[in-house]
Amino acid sequence: MGKNKVILFIIVWLLLVQYGMAQDFYFVSFTDKQNNGFTIEQPSEFLSQRAILRRQKQGISVTEQDLPLTNLYLEALRNKGIEVFEQSRWFNGAIIRSDQPEADQLKNEPYVETVTYIAPSNYAGRIKQKDETLHLDNTPSDSLFQNDILGVEEMHSDGYYGQNMLIAVLDGGFRGVDTASPFSHMFTNNQLLYSYDFVSKTDNVFDYSQHGTKVLSTMVAQKEDVYQGIAPDADYMLFVTENVPTEYRIEEYYWLIAAERADSAGVDVISTSLGYFSFDDPTMNYTHEDLTGATAVITRAASIATEKGIVVVSSAGNQGDDPWQKITFPSDMLNGLSVGSITSNYDLSYFSSFGPTADGRIKPDVVAMGSNTYVIDETGSISFTGSGTSLAAPQVAALTAGIWQAYPDLSALEIIEAMRMSADNAGSPDNAFGYGIPSYVAVKNYLEAVTLNSRFEVYPNPIILGETLNIKIVDPQKTDRITLLVFEATGKQLSEGSYDVSWRDNEAILSLSELPTGVYFLRVVFESGSEGFRIVKL
């Protein structure tokens, strides 16, 4: 045999050996959690005090699902020479690296429930230069619009900037957050409580992608008199669960485990701008029939997080203009908020994904500005060159944190209900806009209406020189259009005007400045009747 043939034979043999011993990634689930050394009666041994208090406030029990794994099972895997990586309490299993014959043999172990292939051996490779591209959109934009429609200025005026709220952001990378000045207060004020990159297995999340940077900027970034994040004073946890150049099921499991860590730390809100349905390995792909809220790995994880009392906010997806069209996973989750995208003209962004779920639930839940959203990039500069539901979701997540700060006694489900039912399309929700645009002002009016028995509030009364008369419609869902008639004491009509009202704008304002002092009568006419009020002008 010639020298070249020998070398070729050796190369082929080495390749065959390498192929045959490829160490792929699997998820191994166990049959039980027996003898793990923990009990639900002592949750402080595996949950933070903040996590326990969040459950207690909402009447949520600690269950076996919260318990750590049985260490004997993990040791049994390690004794076989198997690499054990991340562990999942909720799915009672672990990510491992193994060759296929060994993985197949594991299925015969009495403590193993399932073994699922989730990524190939070369998955962990990173391409530093590649970044996730946001959707391109030439729609005109307005930098004030994105905060204005959500009532952010009013929320901040009431003193709610997210103080003492904890938000977890799960994304593909936060490049530049540690160096760009609009984020510097996070580090000065110790607001970044935890960070972890599951792909690179490091606490350095400030690399590989600036997708998460732009997402985070809508929530926290500040540039004096130029840019204002919605919840700049909240505390944050940052997780990288997405390996941008590739797409495999392992990323769903990373998301799951990140959500568990967030839960254990006592997080209030999870914001995620990641969505899945198609993978590099077609056998992993999902179908529309899987949009059940309980099928996809990432959706099951998100639904469990909501059961723990966390508000999970996810981007609906950018598939509105491609063959998939539907929302992506985990936006089919149960009891979370899926967020679609609109333009500054209040039109649906052409790329925003549609509902419903496979079981008929309306999705997205709400919408926010995702077309040419103003964001801060890795250099600290303002940018509006990208669009996507990725940028709409974090705005709603930050708004949720501010609202929950304002109404801390409400449960996660009550917060979500208030945001849905007070949004501007709540009267006729659909699978494009969902319940519409949420707003701090609308939620505030909606929640205050619950405590009032009257249909209208008219104030101030008496009214003095320079003041206006305010007519507040307590429940716009019952009374969405009114006519105001003003009469003299003699019965002579002085004025008439009609008004459309909503939860966002549920007050009509009358100026009585041209009228002399005296007694007047106001009649508020609505669809099913009218009410009268005696007004005194001093």
Quote the pTM value: 0.85
Indicate the DSSP class of residue 401.
Answer: H
Q: Where are the beta strands (DSSP E) in 375-421?
A: 375-376, 382-383
Q: Where are the domains of the chain?
A: 20-119, 160-418, 456-537
Q: Structure tokens of 365? A: 């839940």
Alpha carbon of residue 295 to chain centroid = 19
CA 350 to each of CA 132, 211, 262, 347, 438: distance values in angstroms, whole numbers, following the listed order: 19, 20, 33, 9, 20
pLDDT score of 12 more than 80: no
In which element (H, E) is residue 264 found? helix 250-265
Pairing of strands 192-197, 311-315: unpaired
Contact 240, 205 (CB under 8 A): yes
Place of tokens 């936006």: 331
Burial of 519-537, coded b for 16+ CB within 10 Å and e otherwise, reads ebbbebebeeeeeeeebeb
Q: What is the pLDDT confidence band of residue 19, given thresholds at 50, 70 and 90? A: very low
Indicate the DSSP class of residue 283.
Answer: G
| Residues 298-335 pLDDT 10s | 999 999 999 999 999 999 999 999 999 999 999 999 99
Tell me the mean pLDDT in the region 279-286: 96
pLDDT score of 20 more than 60: no
Burial of 179-212, coded b for 16+ CB within 10 Å and e otherwise, reads ebebbeebeeeebbebbbbbbbeeeebbbbbbbb
Amino acid found at 428: S
Tell me which of 17-26, 195-204, 217-226 is least confident: 17-26
Q: What is the pLDDT confidence band of residue 16, given thresholds at 50, 70 and 90? A: very low
pLDDT score of 139 more than 60: no
Q: What is the pLDDT confidence band of residue 11, given thresholds at 50, 70 and 90? A: very low
> Which residues are registered as beta bridge partners of 312?
270
Q: Which fold has domain 160-418?
A: Rossmann fold (3.40.50)
Q: Structure tokens of 5? A: 């043939």
Tell me the mean pLDDT in the region 362-371: 96
Which pLDDT belongs to residue 176? Answer: 96
Q: Which fold has domain 20-119?
A: Alpha-Beta Plaits (3.30.70)
Contact 190, 182 (CB under 8 A): no
Q: Where are the beta strands (DSSP E) in 321-390?
A: 337-342, 366-369, 375-376, 382-383
Asked if the domains 160-418 and 456-537 are classified in one and the same CATH topology, the answer is: no
Sign of the torsion angle spanned by Cα atoms 30, 31, 33, 35: negative
Quick one: 67 exposed, middle or buried, by C-beta within 10 A (0-12, 13-18, 19+)? buried
Question: Percent of the chain having pLDDT more than 90?
Answer: 69
pLDDT score of 450 more than 70: no
| Residues 55-103 pLDDT 10s | 999 999 999 999 999 999 999 999 999 999 999 999 999 999 999 999 9
Q: What is the CATH number of domain 456-537?
A: 2.60.40.1930
Residue 352 CA to residue 321 CA, distance in Å, equals 8
